[in-house]
Every structure is written in structure tokens, then in C-alpha cells.
């Protein structure tokens, strides 16, 4: 039996090479398709996660206005907030004021109630008395509280602690003591846990500035800071 010599022509090799190229391209295309699908899934998951995990802490800015005056002797009691009710007035020279007709704006807040302030005139860091006929130095400790309600009927009680410092104007040779018709307010604030915010938990803190007019009893405050919910 005579052995036959099998020869591969250039055409055969070209066909096989083409087939391998096609298979390679198919494999690459499948790999690219899988990679692109996986990437798309990751991107969609990332977008969904970004939308579902918005920052829980935001900056806030609140403005308050009202009318003070009509203070009573002694610290504020029975306000429903231990921040004021538990203050014992160590100096023995405290007064309580309720801010009436209060208004509030900012951070979607719509109303404010139970606005009380305790002033402790026995705590004054300016211990050096006035020199000559100059104005009497005065900065008094103050504590306050109010309840704010937003547009969704959620409520939170806000405590604040600071000082009220006499502002002197109109200083002249003939009026060395000046005029002190306005008081400057400054300090810090925070959301109270007694009573706790309702219906959902919320925390917050920051600083405040404000003024109080002795002639008109007008009170204004601006609170800035952060809240987390």
C-alpha cells in the first residue's frame, strides 16, 4: 500500500488563519461586551448609591424677631425645658422675659413658640468699674429657649447660651457716659433633648448674634450652624 503525501496549500492555511481571526475577534467582542455590561452595572449602582446616600448634615440659617420687655424677677421656670427650668441663678440677680409675637424664617421653619430668656445680671466679666464719668461696663449672662415648627409640622426645641453686652453710642464731652439704648447679643445654640424633637430625631448646633432695643423692646436674632437628620 503506497503512502500518500498530504499537502497543505496556501489557500488551506489562509482559510484556517481567517477562522482563527474570526474566533479571536468573537472572543474579544464577547469579553468587551461582558466588560461593558459589568461597567454599566457598576455605574448604575454608583448613581443609585449616590442618590440614596445624600449628606445627612446641612448648614442652616434662621432669623428670629419678637418683642421683649415685661421681665419678672427671678429665673424662668415652668417653661417645659430643663435648660431654663433647672438653672438656679447662682448670683441671685436674675430676671425672666418672654418674647411675644415672635416670627421665624429660614430652613423651612414657619412658626416659633415658648420663647423665654433668663438674664443673669450677677455674672459680668467686666469686673473693673467705670473710670470717672465713663460708661459702666456691662455684659450679662443669658440663657434662652424656643420651640420651632417647620412646614411639615416637625418640631424642635432650641436652647441658647450667650451674653448680652451694652452698646454705647453718642459719646461726647458733654455726654461722657453715652447712650445705651441697645444691647448686643451673641453666643451659641443647640437642639434640646428635653423635650426631644418630634416626630423624627434631629440634632443641630451653631452660633448666634442679635440685638435688643431698650426703647422699643424689639428683639432680633440670627442663628447659623448645622443640623443632622
221 shares a domain with 184? yes
Q: Supply the pTM of this predicted model.
A: 0.74
118 shares a domain with 18? no
pLDDT one-digit tens code per residue, 135-145: 999 999 999 99
Number of domains in the chain: 2
63 shares a domain with 24? no
Q: What is the pLDDT of residue 69?
A: 82
Q: What is the pLDDT of residue 98?
A: 96
Over the chain, what is the mean pLDDT? 84
Give the other-Cβ count within 10 Å of 115's Cβ: 24
pLDDT at 28 over 70: no
Where does the pLDDT of residue 33 fall: very low under 50, low under 70, confident under 90, or very high at 90 and above? low
Q: Strand pairing partners for 149?
A: 111, 155
pLDDT at 25 over 70: no
47 shares a domain with 64? no
Give the other-Cβ count within 10 Å of 135's Cβ: 17
In a domain, residue 174? The reply is yes
107 shares a domain with 91? yes
User: Per the structure block, which three cell numbers stand in for 42?
Assistant: 457598576
CATH assignment of the domain containing 76: 2.40.160
pLDDT one-digit tens code per residue, 41-68: 434 444 443 445 565 999 999 999 999 9
Contacts of 30 (CB under 8 A, 6+ apart): none
In a domain, residue 69? The reply is yes
Share of the chain above pLDDT 90, in %: 72
Q: Is the peptide bond before 195 cis (omega within 30 degrees of 0)?
A: yes
140 shares a domain with 42? no
In a domain, residue 161? The reply is yes
197 shares a domain with 176? yes
Contacts of 214 (CB under 8 A, 6+ apart): 180, 181, 182, 183
Domain extent, residue 82, equals 57-127+136-228
In a domain, residue 1? The reply is no
95 shares a domain with 70? yes
186 vs 10: which has the higher pLDDT: 186
Nearest to 98 by CA among 75, 130, 121, 132: 75
Q: What is the pLDDT of residue 70?
A: 82
In a domain, residue 5? The reply is no
Grid cell 430652613 is found at 107
User: Per the structure block, which three cell numbers stand in for 92?
Assistant: 441671685
pLDDT at 3 over 80: no
110 shares a domain with 39? no
In a domain, residue 8? The reply is no
Sign of CA dihedral 25, 28, 34, 38: negative
In a domain, residue 82? The reply is yes
In a domain, residue 72? The reply is yes
Contact 81, 195 (CB under 8 A): yes
115 shares a domain with 22? no
132 vs 69: which has the higher pLDDT: 132
pLDDT at 192 over 80: yes
Q: What is the pLDDT of residue 36?
A: 52
198 shares a domain with 122? yes
Q: What is the pLDDT of residue 55?
A: 56
192 shares a domain with 122? yes
pLDDT one-digit tens code per residue, 97-134: 999 999 999 999 999 999 999 999 999 999 999 999 99
Amino acid at each position: 500500500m503506497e503512502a500518500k503525501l498530504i499537502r497543505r496549500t496556501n489557500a488551506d492555511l489562509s482559510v484556517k488563519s481567517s477562522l482563527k481571526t474570526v474566533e479571536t475577534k468573537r472572543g474579544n467582542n464577547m469579553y468587551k461586551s461582558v466588560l461593558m455590561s459589568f461597567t454599566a452595572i457598576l455605574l448604575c449602582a454608583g448613581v443609585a448609591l449616590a442618590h440614596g446616600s445624600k449628606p445627612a448634615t446641612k448648614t442652616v440659617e434662621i432669623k428670629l424677631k419678637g418683642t421683649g420687655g415685661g421681665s419678672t424677677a427671678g429665673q424662668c421656670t415652668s417653661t417645659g425645658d430643663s435648660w431654663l427650668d433647672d438653672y438656679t441663678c447662682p448670683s441671685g440677680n436674675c430676671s425672666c422675659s418672654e418674647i411675644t409675637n415672635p416670627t421665624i424664617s429660614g430652613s423651612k421653619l414657619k412658626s416659633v413658640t415658648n420663647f423665654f430668656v433668663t438674664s443673669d445680671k450677677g455674672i459680668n466679666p467686666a469686673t473693673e468699674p467705670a473710670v470717672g464719668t465713663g460708661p459702666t461696663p456691662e455684659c450679662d449672662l443669658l440663657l434662652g429657649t424656643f420651640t420651632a415648627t417647620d412646614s411639615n409640622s416637625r418640631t424642635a426645641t432650641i436652647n441658647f447660651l450667650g451674653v448680652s453686652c451694652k452698646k454705647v453710642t453718642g459719646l461726647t464731652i458733654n455726654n461722657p457716659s453715652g447712650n445705651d439704648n441697645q444691647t448686643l447679643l451673641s453666643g451659641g445654640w443647640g437642639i434640646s433633648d428635653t423635650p426631644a424633637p418630634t416626630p423624627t430625631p434631629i440634632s443641630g448646633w451653631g452660633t448666634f448674634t442679635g440685638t435688643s432695643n431698650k426703647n422699643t423692646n424689639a428683639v432680633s436674632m440670627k442663628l447659623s450652624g448645622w443640623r443632622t437628620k
